[in-house]
Chains A and B, each alone.
Chain A
Amino acid sequence: MDETLLSGRGLSLDFGRIQALDGVNIDLWPGEVLAIVGESGSGKSTLLNVLSGRMHPDAGTVWYRGPDGHLADVHGMPEPALRRLLRSDWGFVHQNPRDGLRMTVSAGGNVGERLMAAGARHYGNIREQAAAWLKRVEIDPSRMDDLPRTFSGGMQQRLQIARTLVTHPRLVFMDEPTGGLDVSVQARLLDLIRALVAELRIAVALVTHDIAVARLLAHRIAVMRRGVVVETGLTDQVLDDPQHPYTQLLVASVLQA
Chain B
Amino acid sequence: MTEGYNFAYLDEQTKRMIRRALLKAVAVPGHQVPFGSREMPLPYGWGTGGIQVTASVLGPDDTLKVIDQGADDTTNAVSIRAFFARVAGVATTARTAEATVIQTRHRIPETPLTEGQIIVYQVPQPEPLYKLEPSRAATRRLHALSEYGLMHVKLYEDIARFGHISIAYDYPVMVNGRYLMAPSPIPAFDNPKMHMMPALQLFGAGREKRIYAVPPYTAVRSLDFEDHPFRTTRAPHCCELCGSDTSYLDEVVIDDRGGRIFVCSDTDYCAERRSTQQAAA
Contact = CB atoms under 8 A, between A and B. Distances in A.
Contacts of A17: none
Interface string B191-226: 000000000000000000000000000000000011
Contacts of A122: 225-227
A80 B157 CA distance: 26
A123 interface: yes
Q: Is the interface of B mostly helix, strand, loop or mixed?
A: helix
A165 interface: no
A225 to B, nearest CB: 36
B156 interface: yes
Nearest to B224: A121
Nearest to B145: A80
A112 B225 CA distance: 13
A39 interface: no
B227 A112 contact: no
B166 to A, nearest CB: 14
B145 A113 contact: no
A109 B156 contact: yes
B280 interface: no
A145 interface: yes
Contacts, number: 48
B160 interface: yes
A124 interface: yes
Nearest to B151: A116
A117 interface: yes
Contacts of B225: 121-123
A106 B145 contact: no
Given A121-B225, A121-B226, A145-B161, A126 B145 contact: no
A241 interface: no
A105 interface: yes
Interface string A115-150: 011100111101100000000000000001100000
Interface of A: 79-80, 83, 102, 105-106, 108-109, 112-114, 116-118, 121-124, 126-127, 144-145
